[in-house]
Each structure stands twice: as structure tokens, then as C-alpha cells.
Amino acid sequence: MSAPLLRVDDLRVHFPVGGGLLRRARRFVRAVDGVSFAVARGTTFGIVGESGSGKTTTALAVMRLLRPTGGRILLGDTDLGASEGEALRRERRRFQMVFQDPFASLNPRKRAGDTVREALELMTPDDPADRESRVAELFAQVGLRPEQRMLFPHQFSGGQRQRIVLARALAARPELVVCDEPVSALDVAIQAQILNLMQRLQREHGLTYLFISHDLGVVRHLCTHVAVMYLGVIVEMAPRDALFAQPLHPYTTALWSAAPSFDPKARGRGRRIRLQGDPPSPIDLPSGCRFAGRCPAAEPACAQAEPPLREVAPGHFVRCRRVEVVDGQAQPVLG
């Protein structure tokens, strides 16, 4: 694995609950509670998990659209978490974001070409005389015709709008692109087109992606490494092929069982794991494993202390005390 472009160390994002002008909040929603990972340059790191797991909050904190409560966010040698004001503005051209809803991401009163040109004006030192040709070049790179620059967002389809958003992100010539569910609002056929476009752009421009999704099929298609989040923490993290071949954490196993089979020959053979109960409140977290109350393999000791995220195979990390390494091989949890 090459040197990481992005490194996140012990990231925490806590939101105060209650309090007011004269009273300090004493309770907090621990949306992200000690997340660490590294993303190598030119790769795609995926974060998956159910709603409320903290994956989108992690992405917004990396983009500095949310202020971290603690931890470090390093882009190369730059500490984004500690950057403020003009210093942060100068760094923003190095990292851009693609949001879930392309229509909400675009100003309906601006023509598509003006949206991309505005990004050039704000983020790049290009000669103003060259900007029009640069906009046409970006449109061509994402599969749009140059004459479509004169159209407004409502005149495009959903997939075409997301292409405009990608062109706007590329205008800054970024190193990192953070993608928050970028294809979930699109039809399945269009999803494939956008994912293939993103892979081509990654090859051509050397992009690094941080990819947030709940769709395991999309993650398997695009990502090189995957982290699984549950209630603000990473419970399992591994290279894509290792994680899909043998998930070790019981939460990961339950997620995989709920998804359509990735192997056509194995369809109908797997057993769906139905979790009981609801996740604990992120305001009042349990003292032990956060998944213990829903885990089919939990034992009394699981409720005593939260297990660490430990490496049980090369590059494969899991936060579960029931996973054992036998003869050099990590064994999945048995119920």
C-alpha cells in the first residue's frame, strides 16, 4: 500500500444536547467516536453502515463542513482539522465533495457552464481567457456536449446533473474527492454509467476517493478498501476482497446476509440473519461492545468493556472479542 494521501486519527464529532445561553450542555450525541483510517493515493476507500452509523458525519468532518470535536485529519502533511480561515480556503482546492442529490447541489438559476466556471474562478489560478475552453474540456471529460453549458439544471436528467457536479469538482484539480451516496438517487442503469465514469476519471486524473454508501454492490464494484461503521465507530476494516470473502464481525455478517448475493451461484443458499432490538442511543452508550445488545454471538463479557479495533490478518481489522486467530487464520464469530 502506497503512502496515504488522507489519514484520519481518532476522529470525534460530538453534538451537544440541551444547554443554552447560560447553561453548558452536559450530554452529547457521539455521532463519530474515535474513528481512524488511512486512504492511499489513487485508491477508493469505502465506508458502509446503516443510517445513523456516522458515515456521513465522518465525510462532512473530513471536508471540514463540520468542526471535529477531536482527532486529526491529515491531507498529505496538512492538518485540515487545525486549519482555519485563509489557510483552510487555500487547501480546499485539494479536496472536493460530490453530494447525494445532484439537483440540490446545483443552483437552479445558474446555467451549467456558469456553475463550473465559478469553481474555476474560486479555486484555480488559470488565465481568465482560458476558462471558457477549460469549461468545455471538463464537460467533454464527464460525457456532456460543450453546447449543454447554456442549459439550466432542470433541463438535464439526474445522471447528467451528477456529471455536472463531477465536472465542477474536477475544476479545482483536486487530489481527494469525497463522495456521499453519489449514485443512490439515480436509476440502476444510470448508476452503472456514473460509477464507470468515476473509475475512468480516477485513472486519468489520479484521483483518490472517500466513498460513503449503504449499497454493498456499489461498494464492491468501486472500492479497494472498506470500513464498516456501527454507532459512531469502525467495527471492521479490510481490503475489499478479504472483507467480502470472509466478514468477521457479526454486524458485518448481518449486513452481508441482508444484501442480494454477490455470487450468482450462491443465491438462495445463505441464511438471512435478522437482528433483534434497536441500536442503543448515541447519547447514552453502553459501557461494553455497542453491538452486544443485538449480537447473536454475544456473551456476558461483551457487555463489560468495549473491545479494541485489532488486526487479525494482514490489513484486516475487527472490533470483536469473539474473533479468534487459529493457526494464523482469523475465524468468524459463531452464534
Banded pLDDT at 19 (limits 50, 70, 90): low
- The residue-averaged pLDDT of 15-30 equals 77
Domain boundaries, the chain: 4-19+27-230, 246-335
Among the ranges given (19-28, 123-132, 202-211, 300-309), the one the predictor scored with the smallest mean pLDDT = 19-28
- Give CA–CA dist 86/277, Å, rounded: 47
**What was the pLDDT predicted at 235?**
96
Ranges of H-type helices in 226-312: 240-245, 250-258
Alpha helices in the chain (DSSP H): 55-62, 85-91, 112-123, 131-141, 158-171, 188-205, 216-222, 240-245, 250-258
The Cα–Cα gap between 324 and 305 comes to 17
Amino acid at 302: C
- Cβ pair 161, 45 in contact under 8 A: no
pLDDT on residue 3: 77
pLDDT in tens, 63-111: 999 999 999 999 999 999 888 888 898 899 999 999 988 888 899 999 9
More confident: 62 or 18: 62
How would residue 327 be classed by pLDDT, with cut points 50, 70 and 90? Answer: confident
Secondary structure class of 310 (helix, strand, coil): strand
Q: How confident is the model at residue 268 (pLDDT cuts 50, 70, 90)?
A: very low
CATH 3.40.190.10 fits 4-19+27-230, yes or no: no
Report pLDDT digits (tens) over 114-172: 999 999 888 877 677 788 899 999 999 999 998 999 999 999 999 999 999 999 999 99
Query: Are 62 and 80 a contacting pair, CB within 8 Å?
Result: yes
DSSP 102-129: TTTTS-TTS-HHHHHHHHHHHH----GG
- Return the minimum-mean-pLDDT range out of 140-144, 251-255, 316-320: 251-255
Is residue 163 within 8 A of residue 144, CB to CB? The reply is: yes
Whether 40 contacts 5, CB under 8 Å: yes
